[in-house]
Amino acid sequence: MTSKDRWAAIALVATLLLSAAVAGPADAQTAARCGPFRVEWHRGELSPTAEKLEGFVYNESVCSVTDVRIHVVAVSGDGHPVGETLGWVYGDIPAGSRGYFVVPLPDAGAADYRVNVVSFDEVSSTRNVR
């Protein structure tokens, strides 16, 4: 192997190691094992002049999660967004369990709402790690 070939091989190995460190398989496994989340909600009265959206986020994964952030989008009858807000689920949500949330409605005149989990922190996992 010539000196030039040796340097090319070293550069290739360094590039592969760097790319694995930036986006390695552990990152993909962490994202894949936490979730999916299912959301059930209903409207309620917050005060005589305001409504609320309350419900549960169901954690259908092997992870216990905390700091679950939800995004609520108010939509018109034809499906266009007319308002939005963010909210939090109270406490931790163990794997296979649910957590409660309540948020003031961003637009009481909306025809419907879309609620999605936008972020969370993993507390632990029940999956065996090898």
Q: What does the radius of gyration of the chain's CA atoms come to, in whole angstroms?
A: 22
pTM over 0.75? The answer is no
Residues near 86 by beta carbon (within 8 Å), at least 6 away in sequence:
69, 70, 71, 72, 103, 118
Whether residue 51 sits in one domain with residue 94: yes
Whether residue 61 sits in one domain with residue 1: no
Whether residue 86 sits in one domain with residue 67: yes
Instruction: Write out the two tokens for 45.
Output: 């009265």
17, part of any domain: yes
Whether residue 58 sits in one domain with residue 44: yes
Whether residue 50 sits in one domain with residue 4: no
Return the CATH number at 112: 2.60.40.10
- Return the pLDDT at 29: 42
* H helix runs in the chain, sequence order: 3-22, 25-33
56, part of any domain: yes
The answer to whether the beta carbons of residues 110 and 124 sit under 8 Å apart is no
130, part of any domain: no
Whether residue 4 sits in one domain with residue 64: no
Whether residue 106 sits in one domain with residue 58: yes
Whether residue 58 sits in one domain with residue 21: no
120, part of any domain: yes
The answer to whether the beta carbons of residues 59 and 99 sit under 8 Å apart is yes
Higher pLDDT, 82 or 13: 82
Reduced 3-state DSSP string for 92-129: CECCCCEEEEEEECCCCCCCEEEEEEEEEEEEEECCCC
- Give residue-wise pLDDT tens across range 54-100: 999 999 999 999 999 999 999 988 989 998 999 999 999 999 999 99
Whether residue 59 sits in one domain with residue 18: no
Higher pLDDT, 115 or 105: 115
Average pLDDT, the chain: 78
d(Cα 30, Cα 28) in Å, to the nearest integer? 6
Tally of domains in the chain: 2
- Return the pLDDT at 18: 40
**Domain, as residue range, for 3:** 1-33
d(Cα 73, Cα 84) in Å, to the nearest integer? 4
Label residue 51 left, alpha or beta by phi (over 0 means left) and psi (-120 to 50 means alpha): beta
- Return the pLDDT at 32: 54
